[in-house]
Amino acid sequence: MFSAAFAAVVLSGCATTANNPKDPFEGFNRAMFSVNEGIDVVVKPIAQGYDTVTPSPVKAGIGNFFGNIADVWTAFNNFLQGKGGQGFSDVGRVLVNTTIGIVGLFDVASEMGMEKHSEDFGQTLGKWGVGDGPYLYWPIIGPRTTRDTLGWAVDSYADPVLNLDDVALRNSLAGIRFIDLRASLLPTDKVVEQAAFDKYDYIRDAYLQHRRSEIDDGKLPVENQDSN
Amino acid sequence: MKSLYLLFFGLLITCSSVFAQEDTPDALIKKVTDDVLTIVRQDKDIQNGSTRKAIELVEAKVLPHFNFQRMTALAMGRDWNKATPEQKKQLSEEFKTLLVRTYSNALTGYRDQTVHYKPTRMQGDDKDVVVKTEIVQSGSKPIQLDYSMEKQAEGWKVYDVVVAGVSLVTNYRDTFSREVRANGVDGLIQMISTKNKQLEAGKK
């Protein structure tokens, strides 16, 4: 009885694997994708309103402020990945931007030639050799590999904003950050809308390529090499 | 004496024509990018989202430096060999229309970003190089923009564009191969052409 059930699971597993090995839970993922498209019906107009109403320097300031907070975690992950040079540069960025850049509102460090990096715990795990695992699509947070889902949980646990004791302040900051992030993706919307035959597929494939490249720090995808 | 003079003259012409067509790949990318951005900065219509004008600009300045046949082959992977020469021509034409339309639009989003050109590693007789650039915006991580290029008789041609690690070409591979599996090469031609017609109809 048990073995029959097991065989059925294995067989159905094979059947879906044949479809797309990177995305064995496509059914679940597509359902969550529709949920997110539904949520975005509300979120997108807010982001568009924010984008129109907020003057550019203010928007830049808001982006820089949250970027500065994120740089702390980026530095930490650079050290975990053994990239000490980048890690120290990120620490320098935080020191400069928090002081001269007035609590991070101005990205003075970039102008001084200290390049901004972007590292998270999912990339660190990837660097340590943890594979992608099945692709997943979550409500609100969107596409993540299994490894990056775990990474995201650790990122959130360490997130200074989410760790604030003042609930009202915490929620407002997290809310503004979310809308600011959504607004920064508005120009991409149009391109994806036009380029994609199937938006779900296009986003999945782009996300997986992008993460691979982030973990390899910008090396070209291997897929590129075999042209025919 | 006269023949020596002719030989010398002939050499001179050959040399200068070689110099005229032989932009190095990174110099070519820089020249085209600078040309295009100079125009975008002055063109209020493009800044206000005119897809038509952006497409005209891309067709005039950018298209001559792209190898769309190679791009289509790259997007299709193994399925490319299943196509007849006539189908290959149609596929390349439709794919070109799609890429030009969608990515011309990206130009309308240009604001005040600057482009940095990274040193290109290549040896004298390389026929295939990657030219790396990055788009710099204050307050966010620079976006890597890489061009894979190959040397052809008429000069260097781009056959892949990789934005932040995402190849705009191979990103279509899964979608295309599924369509070929389901409806054959003609089905794929049909699919891209239908998409292009929809975009054309919705265009301003």
Q: What is the pLDDT along chain A (228 residues), one digit of tens a residue?
A: 444 444 444 444 443 444 788 899 999 999 999 999 999 999 999 999 999 999 988 999 999 999 999 999 999 999 999 999 999 999 999 999 999 999 999 999 998 989 999 999 999 999 999 999 999 999 999 999 999 999 999 999 999 999 999 999 999 999 999 999 999 888 888 888 889 999 999 999 999 999 999 998 876 544 444 433
Amino acid at B188: L
- Closest approach of B140 to chain A, Cα-based (Å): 7
**Separation in Å, CA of A225 to nearest CA in chain B:** 9
Q: What's the pLDDT at A15? A: 39
- SS3 call for A174: helix
Q: First-to-last CA distance in chain A?
A: 47
- Contact (CB<8Å) A209/B167: yes
Q: Give yes or no for residue B41 having a pLDDT over 50.
A: yes
In percent, the amount of chain B with pLDDT more than 70 equals 87
Asked if the C-beta of A221 comes within 8 angstroms of chain B's C-beta atoms, the answer is yes
Q: Please determine, for the modelled complex, whether the ipTM score is greater than 0.85.
A: no
Average pLDDT of B30-45? 90
Residue A224 to residue B142, Cβ atoms within 8 A: no
How many C-beta neighbours within 10 Å does residue B8 have? 10
State how far residue B10 is from chain A, nearest Cα, in angstroms: 39
Handedness of CA A138, A144, A147, A148 (dihedral sign): negative
- Give B112's pLDDT tier (boundaries 50, 70, 90): confident
* Statement: the pTM of the whole predicted model exceeds 0.80: yes
Per-residue confidence at B106, pLDDT binned at 50, 70, 90?
Answer: confident
Q: Which among B160, B171, B176, B192 is the top mutation candidate for probing chain A, defined by the most A β-carbons within 10 Å of its own β-carbon?
A: B171
CB A63 within 8 A of CB A198: no
Q: Count the Cβ atoms, other than its own, within 10 Å of residue B54.
A: 27
Question: Mind giving me the DSSP string for B150-177?
Answer: EEETTEEEEEEEEETTEETTGGGHHHHH
Q: How far is CA B82 from CA A170, A224, B89, B178, B189, in A?
A: 57, 20, 13, 14, 13
Using CA atoms, how far residue B162 sits from A163, A220, B23, B152, in Å, is 37, 8, 21, 20
Give the pLDDT confidence score for residue A8 in this predicted structure: 43
Question: Who contacts B155 (Cβ-Cβ below 8 Å, separation ≥6)?
Answer: B21, B22, B23, B28, B65
The residues near A228 (Cβ < 8 Å, ≥ 6 apart) are B73, B74, B77, B78, B80, B81
A224–B139 C-beta distance less than 8 A: no
What is the per-residue pLDDT for A7? 44
Report how far residue A41's alpha carbon sits from residue A33's, in angstroms, rounded to the nearest whole number: 13
Question: Is A225 in CB contact (< 8 Å) with chain B?
Answer: no
pLDDT tens-digit map of B119-150 = 887 777 788 999 999 888 766 778 889 999 99
Rounded to whole angstroms, how far apart are CA atoms B160 and B68?
A: 9
A98, A101, A106, A110: CA torsion to nearest 10: -90
Comparing A208 with B51, which gets the higher pLDDT? A208
Q: Is A96 in contact with A112 (CB distance < 8 Å)?
A: yes
Touching check for A205 and chain B: CB below 8 Å? yes
Q: Which residues of B touch A212 (CB under 8 A)?
A: 165
Question: Is B166 within 8 Å of A213 when comparing Cβ atoms?
Answer: yes
Q: Judging by beta carbons within 10 Å of its beta carbon (0-12, 13-18, 19+), is residue A116 exposed, middle or buried?
A: buried
Q: Does the beta-carbon distance from B139 to A201 stay under 8 Å?
A: no
Identify which of A107, A111, A218 has the shortest CB distance to residue B144.
A218
Reported as type and span, the H/E element at residue A144 is: strand A142-145
CA-CA distance, B113 to B138, in Å (whole number)? 8
B43 pLDDT more than 70 = yes
Q: Encode pLDDT of B163-186 as tens digits.
A: 889 999 999 999 999 999 999 999
The whole-number pLDDT of residue A125 equals 97
- Tokens for B160? 């892949």
Containing B117, the helix (H) or strand (E) segment is: strand B114-117
Best of B166, B179, B193 to disrupt the A interface (most A CBs within 10 Å) is B166
Tokens representing A42 are 């509300």
Provide, as residue numbers in chain A, all residues whose Cβ is less than 8 Å from the Cβ of B106.
Answer: 187, 191
Task: Kindly state the tokens that stand for A165.
Answer: 């004791």
Question: What digits encode the pLDDT tens for the residues B3-25?
Answer: 555 555 555 555 444 444 567 89
Structure tokens that stand for B92 in this block: 């390349």
A209/B80 touch (CB, cutoff 8 Å), yes or no = no
- Would you state the pLDDT for residue B119? 84
Is the pLDDT assigned to residue B57 strictly greater than 80? Answer: yes
Instruction: Give the model's confidence band at B98: pLDDT under 50 very low, under 70 low, under 90 confident, else very high.
Output: very high
pLDDT of residue B8: 58
